[in-house]
Amino acid sequence: MKTQINGIGMTSQRTRERMVERLRKEGVRDEVVLGVMASVPRHIFVDEALAHRAYEDVSLPLLLGQTISQPYAVARMSELLRAGGPLNKVLEIGTGCGYQTTVLAKLAREVYSIERIAPLLDKARQHLREMRTLNVRLRHGDGHAGIPEAAPFDAILLTAAATHVPQALLQQLAVGGRMILPLGTTEQYLWLIERHAEGFVETKLEPVRFVPLVAGTA
């Protein structure tokens, strides 16, 4: 049965609007990001049995131990990446089911996204087709390496927690660019890294919980 994009009942537009009101109360201020969050049907990115929980502010399970990030994390990271202005070329590390990818695609001119787990990438590709998202280029590969041939990127977003900042990704960040990533193992924090002509500036933000960034492909 084909998933209904608009949704009904617990997957309806009204439910998405309630989610956006909750995001406002939780401190997300960027109205462009909030508008995109209201427009993207999160329920199509999760298993049909979990669709009724799609707009709760929780992460939900995907294939092979992966998760779809909670709406607050998606909105907050997108807001930090945008910093109040338009996005041009974005690199996403960890495509997952394609939900954050779709949000980014509505905020940026073009998005490159890399995923290490092939079956998950196939699902994401299917979801992006269903959403008629045309400005995303997907890649099966190790996120630590990024996509050097498409660099530089004016924004880089990691959707899994790294133990350290991958050097290859720093080199692929344009001067004037911003990287948002979760860092840590038992304790994780969101970090903002800004590249200036004279070097990098790192800012520690709020505590988060993400699946780990794993090397290699599967």
Q: Which residues are marked as active site?
A: 69
pLDDT tens per residue across span 78-121: 999 999 999 999 999 999 999 999 999 999 999 999 999 999 99
pLDDT tens per residue across span 198-218: 999 999 999 999 999 999 998
Q: Which two tokens stand for residue 136?
A: 């995303």
Asked if the model's pLDDT at residue 5 lies above 60, the reply is yes
pLDDT tens per residue across span 8-20: 566 688 999 999 9
- Using alpha carbons, select from 164, 165, 174 the residue that is nearest to residue 194: 174
Please state the pTM of the whole predicted model: 0.94
